[in-house]
Amino acid sequence: MNKNDFRIQVPLWNIALWFILIIWTYGVVYLVDLINGDFEGVFKVENGELTADFNVLPLSSVVIGLVLLIVFLIAYFFKLKRHNDEHPIKMNFITFLKPGEFLEDDELLKQVTENATKRIYIFYSHALPLLIFFMVIFPLDRYLYVVMLFLLLIGHNAMYYLEIRKFLSGNYKLHTSKRVKNNRFSKMFVTVMLVALIVAIVFPINRVNQIDQNQQELLSEYESCLNEGKTATIDFTGETTVRCD
Amino acid sequence: MLRNRVRELRARHGYSQTALANRVDVTRQTIGFIEKGEFSPSITLSLKLAKELQISVDELFWLEEDLDE
């Protein structure tokens, strides 16, 4: 096994794939939202002609993403074919049971792969609860959360690649001082959780305060409109406003 | 810590790390890590190495008290 072994480079290919999918899903999310939401609103009649009013950026991202995806798959296929022609350990084009980057040629490589996957297990067991927390607290666009999930996958592949590169470069230690590393990691995790907790407390309080302030303003506007002898109506479409007719 | 005489006996038999690795069906890196004492091989691999280096397993590998622990 050497550095040119395609299995070593598979995580980098995975990272490239996730980046392409980040581009592609931007458009896909927009289109899905459009179909499930205001699809009829896309078509407008102007000067007696029916025109479609699409957002150009998401549509371009679907096309660019698709082209990149096709180029990627062709390049990946040729790279894989060359690997299978040159190396005794063959790789499958698609496998759902054993990722292509797993190195299990002998017991040392099995141990290295186990160590790398253990790190990724720890990474996910910290990152996913944080992501759930952000999804619960912040009502952001769902595409942002799709990107965050892709970033987790990119981080996971980068960690795996760096671990294997370290092994191949000869600087790898199977028995490291885990206690020191764990302490540093635990401190970092506790700090992140504390910051998240503060955000979780401050953000809703701030929102409730904002809603209360808006209601007070609307109420005084409503009352002053009635005092002028006009008809006041509250418009809930978009930003809540008081209409005084 | 597991100590061994793999490097010494490999040199005595005139094997390179790659040659010995091929004889016992592992990668060159595995032999390197065993020689440095950083990797403890399985019983099967220990027996294969002992056979190739014409020595008994207990003469090839032995436990030494690790002062750090």
DSSP H helices in chain A = 6-36, 56-86, 107-137, 142-169, 178-227
**Residues on chain B touching A108 (C-beta within 8 angstroms):** 26-27, 29-30, 33, 39
Measured at the alpha carbon of residue A203, what is the angle toward residues A201 and A208, in degrees to the nearest 5?
100
Tell me which long-range contacts A191-197 makes (C-beta under 8 A, separation of at least 24): A192/A130, A193/A130, A196/A130, A196/A133, A196/A134
Q: What is the C-alpha to C-alpha distance for residues A42 and A35, in angstroms, rounded to an integer? A: 10
Tokens of A120: 């990724």
> How do residues A61-112 score in pLDDT, each as one tens digit?
999 999 999 999 999 999 999 998 988 888 887 777 778 888 888 999 999 9
CA distances from A25 to A64, A70, A91, A142, A219 (A): 11, 15, 28, 11, 43
CA distances from A119 to A15, A37, B15 (A): 18, 41, 36
Phi, then psi, of A102 in degrees rounded to 5: -65, 130
**Inter-chain CB pairs, A–B, below 8 Å:** 30
Chain A residue closest in CA terms to B46: A107
> How do residues B18-55 score in pLDDT, each as one tens digit?
999 999 999 999 999 999 988 999 999 999 999 999 99
In chain A, pLDDT over 70 holds for what percent of residues? Answer: 92
Distance of residue B34 Cα from the nearest chain A Cα, in angstroms: 9
Q: Nearest by CB to B33, from A105, A108, A168: name it.
A: A108
Chain B residue closest in CA terms to A175: B38
Closest CA to A150 of A25, A11, A6, A7: A25
For residue A203, give the amino acid letter. Answer: F
> How do residues A11-61 score in pLDDT, each as one tens digit?
999 999 999 999 999 999 988 888 887 677 677 777 778 777 777 888 899
Topology annotation, domain B2-56: 434 Repressor (Amino-terminal Domain) (1.10.260)
Query: Quick one: DSSP state of residue B61?
Result: E
Instruction: Calculate the CA A213 to chain-centre distance.
Output: 34
Chain B residue closest in CA terms to A109: B30
Question: pLDDT at position A125, please?
Answer: 93
Question: pLDDT at position A182, please?
Answer: 63
Task: Please report, for chain B, the start and end positions of each structural domain, with discontinuous segments joined by +.
Answer: 2-56
The predicted complex's ipTM stands at 0.84
For residue A144, give the amino acid letter. Answer: L
**Residues on chain B touching A173 (C-beta within 8 angstroms):** 38
For residue B33, give the amino acid letter. Answer: F
Q: Mapping DSSP to helix (H, G, I), strand (E, B) and coil, where does residue A228 land?
A: coil
Q: What is the C-alpha to C-alpha distance for residues B62 and B44, in angstroms, rounded to an integer? A: 16
Interchain contact, B26 vs A174, CB within 8 Å: no
